[in-house]
Structure 1
Amino acid sequence: MQEWINNKMLPVVMKFANNKIVSSMKNGLIYTMPLTIVGSLFMLLSNFPVPAVSNYFMKTGWTLWFSQVTGATYDIMSLVAVFAIAYQWVKEDGFDGLPAGILGLVAYVITLDPTKPLIDKGSQKVLGTVTGVIDKTWSGGQGMIAAIIIGALVGWAYSFFLKRDIRIKLPEQVPANVSGAFTALIPAAVIITSAFAVYIFFNAAFHMTMVSAIYKVIQTPLQGMTDNAAGFFAYIFLISFLWFFGIHGAVVVGGILGPIVTASTLENVKIFQQGGQAALEAHGHIFIEPLLSQFATVSGSGFTIGLVIYMLFFGKSAIFKQLGRLAIGPALFNINEPILFGVPIVLNPLLAIPFIVTPLVTGMLTYAAVALHFLPVLSGVQVPWTTPVLFSGLIVGGSQGWKFMLWQVLLIVISCAIWFPFARIQDRQNLLQEQGKA
């Protein structure tokens, strides 16, 4: 079994995980994280969970001011993503990625429709057309998959020219910043012209933009595949299943499907901004990033806080006692590598059962609670993945954060109930080995 994993399965998975497209997408989208965290903070302020404070912010105009920051972070996420992915692609090829990032941004904007209908809010009649605009509809979550595709294509094209030394060369006496600008001239001309041709083609042939076409044909079906109970179940299962073999499941699965979940999260933010919680309940996505990170995988993949609690308070073997003391601190901040490889859970058939089952149970229970309106649909507020449990539930739940905090307490109890029987068996085996009886 071990030989098959090492020689057959692991190389295939690692080759895929290190694929240029997956690597650039994964590493590029990391640059959007500060925007989502800071934007979430201001969205929380604009919809403060204490009614008295929320009403004060509304009356004094602070709610509108807070929304300005949310709009300047969440609503331009696709623009940041296309820049970052093109930049990362070229950087990983060993070249200066900044010109490629700029070209990715330019190419993306070229493919957008620069017009927007002017609609009367009362009658909903079209009064005219506004020109020269960047429509935030497509600069946020709805343009995420298009941003990934365009960013990857621009990164590939830019590297293609530089690898073949197709560039304008200047004498060595010319300053580096000047020669660098001329280096990007030929690829820039080709990339920008190609983006222009794509814009003309989609406009003339389909009366739509490439970005809106990608959203309709690719992103919407993909979101439909993941934004349901089966998709959520599969996402959680794959993370734990890959971790059993020592493969970072969150990185691999997140690298492939993460952008789809991110797009759903951003759409929930937009829905909440426009229509509040009522609109979220009617049109929001249940499976968004906080549902996974703060309720299915609290304390890390496998929802291992139950195992850590057993080791800390009930462990009898020396290794469990020691690991319990060492692991409780990281576990509170959702870091569980010490027990994944220390117990170990990796390649341990006994502990693989609760490791896979626990997040499926906690995740699907949370999904069902939201679907049945026992818990509200999450608005898209995000916290750093290291935010301690209970605090994370209080924050991501917004005005009803107390419900999610209490729900996390229940999930921890469930984690203990599932983990304890298996932990007890493993503890006995460890104790027998330590006593030399195994």
Structure 2
Amino acid sequence: MVSAIASGQGKTTTTAALARKLVRLGKTVRIFKTGPDFIDPMILERACGFPVYSLDLWMVGQADSQAMLADAALSADVILIEGVMGLYDGNPSSADLARTFGVSVVAVLDASAMAQTVGAIALGLRDFGPVNLVGVIANRVASEGHAHMVAEAMRDIPLLGSLMRQEQVLPERHLGLVLPDEVSHIDALLDRMADQLSLDIEAWNALPLTTFSTPVESSVNRKAVGTPLQGKTIAIARDAAFAFLYPANLQVLAELGAALVFFSPLANETIPPQADALYLPGGYPELHAEALTQADQWLAAVRDAHAAGMPMWAECGGMMALTEGLTDQSGRHWPMAGLLRGQVVMQQRLAALGGQAWSSTEHATDHAFSLRGHTFHYSRFETTLIPIAHTHKQRDGAQGEAVYQHGNLKASYFHAYFPSDPAMTASLFLTEAR
């Protein structure tokens, strides 16, 4: 596990540089991301060449997390797990995940404003939990002499490598890193980062191995549901405005029997004619509001599909694009599709962040559904619509995001992790009985 004392230490940069360096050394590298995240996995996928799935003891569950690790271990030479926030932050934390699966931890520590103190921080990170901290990678090192001072202070924790200060870094915006397709020469940048990562290969190769067994209970919930979406085709928006898609969500929809087709509202593409349902994931509609406003074919298609009763699930950015209008961070107002009464207003402060679950007994026979996921947004939805339900916050069970319905359209700021409840997932894409 690649972790740190906090966000902003360079975990993603270091994980990407390390993965690309190992790939160039002939290794097969698989990467996982701790907790809910969409953007970091896109960068890490470019670095290693494989889809990056989430691991999380609450949202994903221990059994499915273990099953994914065990499956990756069958073919990979190296598995990297990028942590979230600081090593011990959150419940469950990255440290909890590492201890649950016996995974060693490598700490990325920003050495730009210190030298020997890096050693003290490393000892504290190891002993507080404790965790099996097997090494440190010093980030933003100024020179070889600086790296040498850090190494001398490490005592019994090896300095596995160091990464020099970057003239060109992975750019960021309000929800995190910029999407990789928006970064010119992203692969050249990843190669440059790998070149600048000084790695002690002998020490790296001496790290302890971890064994993963496949849990017998994994995915039982999924298999019991069957294929209720058999014969259905789901159209999924996928472009820079609608980019926040868990690979596991797509996998579950396919396992439920659905055929998946993709299209781009930003390119003014209509909903594919064979579609029986629509999935609008989150993303950055606020950055592409002008293009969405001018996408007349897309707007006409989604309005017609809604009027015809097509089942639709729109989450976060997908919901924002279906409201009457959006005011961006510059104060400019843009009309949207108008299927949901109300206006979205971007704000400077974070509006909501954290794990949430949507429970329902609406379709249950012998159990209540609980679709898990998270929320993370900087906008507010000003509406007179009455929610059909609310999610509940993971931390304390308090009321979370509103879930709205208009016809066969359901929408929320809530980002759903479909594998957590395949039955409820399937219900989002089926026409409700009248």
TM-score band, normalised by shorter chain = under 0.3
Between the two structures, name the one with larger relative contact order (CA 8 Å, sep ≥ 6). 1
- Normalised by the length of structure 1, the TM-score is 0.26
Greater helix fraction, Structure 1 or Structure 2? 1
- Normalised by the length of structure 2, the TM-score is 0.26
User: In terms of Rg, which structure is larger?
Assistant: 1
Greater strand fraction, Structure 1 or Structure 2? 2
